[in-house]
Structure 1
Amino acid sequence: MKFAVSLSMERFSPEDSMTDARRQMLELARVADEGGFETLWTAEHHTIECTISPNPFTVLTWLAQHTERIRLGTATIVAPYWSPIRLAGEAAMCDHLTDGRLEFGIARGAYQYEFDRMAGGMPQQEGVAYMKELVPAVKELWKGDYAHEGHYWKFPLATSVPKPLQQPHPRIWVATRDPGSFDWAVGIGANILSTPLSAPASEVVVLGEKFRKAVADHPEHPRPRFMMQRRTCVYDRPEDWEVAVRHSVDYGRYFENLMQNIGTVKNGFPEGVPYETVANRGNYDPRAIRDNLMFGTPDEVIDKLQIYEEQGVDLYTLGLSFNLPFELQMRTLRLFIDEVMPHFAARERQNSRTNLALLNSGQTPSEHRTMSTAATGI
């Protein structure tokens, strides 16, 4: 299992400085790059200060000038806000300006508050139909001349200018939680971005089952990659959990406002709605949040990550942007780099040595696991 980080510029008060938000994101990105994280993700959002990224391609191009190796992903582009021609060209240009480090993630969109302002008030659930028409059209434009006659877009012969640096195109990732979109994404050869939100660990298993079913139903494609994201905070002492939980609970009240469109937003700042109005109030129990989310000491986080690995997650993403104080975000990265990632890297090296030894002996790793299971009766 590899590791990634999701970052956004955030302001939760008019007193918060945009200069500080930009500086802090850049500092975190540099540490993640130097520390060996595989990918940095950032999302598209509009008209809200708690996630400042009207064009993630711009943000990723900027970050590319200050990082060396980390891949740079859109998690996610919101499909109904784009036209195929514009999206194909913007993504391809970003791929060039990042020296071929772009990961192309797309979604239907989440916040009804944004849809009311960006998509004429359409229900955000309808965004999935836009995504299913948009992605194939973008792929065709990346190839060359293409004319489109669809439900949402129509245009005569056109092509993407420029074409992507990565050929045939950057890796495509689809953000989803529902089985139908899992199936569609795997069926077009895309990778999966998903999240259990604030649900218990059993939801990780449910998402893993959806992924495995979609893969099994599409043997015509190689197995795609599977990424999962959770809010993450790593701290030194077990008793430090309350700070992370308090910020997660407060952030959840902003999330509910935007998702359900049940609160007010003043000059870009959403209010935190009262707990009595939120759905799934059980998910806001402090101890449930501590247990469900990726909060803990390095040893506790290593234990929690086991279930993600067991469910076939290839890329675990640390969600750091939930109004967590900058010092805690930075401490989380440092502890993850110094104490969590080496554990998984060492185990991967051991597995590689074991598999090599088995192959040299003429036995495949799968045969070894079958014989081991038979011998132990497990």
Structure 2
Amino acid sequence: MDFGIFILMQQRNQEKSSYQIIQEAVEQTRVADELGFGAAWYAEHHFSNYGLCPSPLMMAAHCAGVTKRIRLGSGVVIAPLYTPARLISEVAMADVLSNGRLNLGIGGGYQQFEFERFGITLENAKDKALEMLDMIELGLTQDKFSYDGKFYQQPTTAISTRPVQSPMPPVWIASGDPMLMRRAIRNDYHVFISGQLGGSKRLGGFRESIDQLAVSEGKDPSKVKVGLLRFAYASDDKAEVERYVDCARYQQRIAVSLKTRRESVSDDYMVREQPFDEELPFEKMLKNLPVGPVDTVIERLLADIRAARPVHVALQTQIGDFDHRTMLKQLELWAKVIIPAVQQELARDKAAEAQPVALAA
């Protein structure tokens, strides 16, 4: 199991320009690479301050030039917003420019605020994403392909730029929709889940649902590859921890308002923060998340990992208006202290599982 970073490129206020926020994301990626993190992920969002990256593939291609080993991922490409043939070509191009370090995250999208500004609707978005997956598989693995689906048709076409990774970059599907999760399980893709502001019990419920889907698909649940996106922050400074959790709550509030079509926008693209009915008390968030002193973070994160059984954990770094320099120091703490300690405990778990049960005399 390895660790990565997830960068939303959020703009909580306009004190920082989009240029500063994107450059900070690039620097976080470069530092994460130097520290040995396994992956950096970039979200795709449009037309609001929820996330300033409209093209995670472009971001991955750029960051490939300032890094050496870290894998670079779309977290995620919102498939229905693309023309299929162009998306397939750009995926191949990003894989070439990263020298085979691309992780292809795919999702169906959930913000009608974005969709309507592209002149389309969220209706059938998941079905469109499934057809897009069909076409990505065909376009990247065959010399030429055609497609005749319900939503997309493609005449015989050859994608001239070929990916470095064979047969194609690994696919990560981020969705709570059973159709997309089944597709991921059926094709041995990764299932990317988010713990949001919940605790280990919530994650255990997610994993149980994934296991049940695997069984229904005739797959071994233990072989399903799960990626976990998690808010996490380690510090003895209570005010600093609370500041990070406040930014996590801010992110959740904006996401919920966009998902439920209750967004209130000012200055053309700034979504106002507003609480929602099911919101957890702040103290509950502090208890649910792996935040606080290092020992507390390690203990809670181990509980999360044991509940969700992921192969990859992505830590949310650039959220709200949390301080960039503080986050760079945080990455170093994780790389040098927290991740080694977590990996050591997981190795002990594995060794204990491998021990034969002593037979009674």
**Do both share a fold (TM > 0.5)?**
yes
**Cα pair 2:235 2:241 within 8 Å, conserved:** yes
**Which residue is equivalent to 2:180?**
181
SS in 1 for 2:337: helix
SS in 1 for 2:223: coil
SS in 2 for 1:104: strand
**Which residue is equivalent to 2:244?**
244
SS in 2 for 1:5: strand
1:131 to 129, 132, 136: 129
Task: Name the aligned partner's letter for residue 11 of structure 1.
Answer: Q
- In 2, Cα distance between equivalents of 1:332 and 1:11: 20
Alignment TM-score, normalising by the size of structure 2: 0.90
**Which residue is equivalent to 2:264?**
264
Tell me, which stretches of 5 or more residues in structure 1 are unaligned? 356-364
1:338 to 336, 339, 346: 336
Whether 1:299 and 2:295 are equivalent positions in the alignment is yes
Q: Quick one: structure 1 residues 119 and 144, their matched pair in 2 at CA, closer, same or farther if it must change by over 3 Å? A: farther
- In 1, Cα distance between equivalents of 2:176 and 2:293: 28
Tell me, which stretches of 5 or more residues in structure 2 are unaligned? none
Q: Quick one: structure 1 residues 18 and 99, their matched pair in 2 at CA, closer, same or farther if it must change by over 3 Å? A: same
Matches within 5 A, 1:341-356: 341-347=339-345
**Cα pair 2:77 2:105 within 8 Å, conserved:** yes
Pick 1 or 2: higher relative contact order, CA cutoff 8 A, min separation 6. 2
Deviations 1:339-368 (A, max 9, x none): 11111343466678x59xxxxxxxxx65x3
**Which residue is equivalent to 1:358?**
none
Matches within 5 A, 1:1-378: 1-123=1-123, 126-142=124-140, 143-219=142-218, 223-238=223-238, 240-265=240-265, 266-273=267-274, 275=275, 278-281=276-279, 283=280, 285-310=281-306, 311-323=308-320, 324-347=322-345, 366=354, 368-369=355-356, 371=357
Q: Percent identity?
A: 22
Deviations 1:210-269 (A, max 9, x none): 222233344568924210112222223456432222222333332232222213223221
- In 2, Cα distance between equivalents of 1:168 and 1:272: 44
- In 2, Cα distance between equivalents of 1:264 and 1:31: 36
Task: Name the aligned partner's letter for residue 299 of structure 1.
Answer: D
Task: Name the aligned partner's letter for residue 235 of structure 2.
Answer: Y
Q: Quick one: structure 1 residues 127 and 210, their matched pair in 2 at CA, closer, same or farther if it must change by over 3 Å? A: same
Task: Name the aligned partner's letter for residue 20 of structure 2.
Answer: D
How many pairs are equivalent? 355
Task: Name the aligned partner's letter for residue 283 of structure 2.
Answer: R
- In 1, Cα distance between equivalents of 2:317 and 2:114: 22
**Cα pair 1:83 1:153 within 8 Å, conserved:** no
Deviations 1:305-361 (A, max 9, x none): 122322311111101232122133223212211211111343466678x59xxxxxx
- In 2, Cα distance between equivalents of 1:191 and 1:121: 27
Task: Name the aligned partner's letter for residue 136 of structure 2.
Answer: V
Task: Name the aligned partner's letter for residue 319 of structure 2.
Answer: F
Alignment TM-score, normalising by the size of structure 1: 0.87
SS in 2 for 1:194: strand
**Cα pair 1:234 1:331 within 8 Å, conserved:** no
Q: Post-superposition shift, 1:129?
A: 0.8
Task: Name the aligned partner's letter for residue 22 of structure 1.
Answer: I
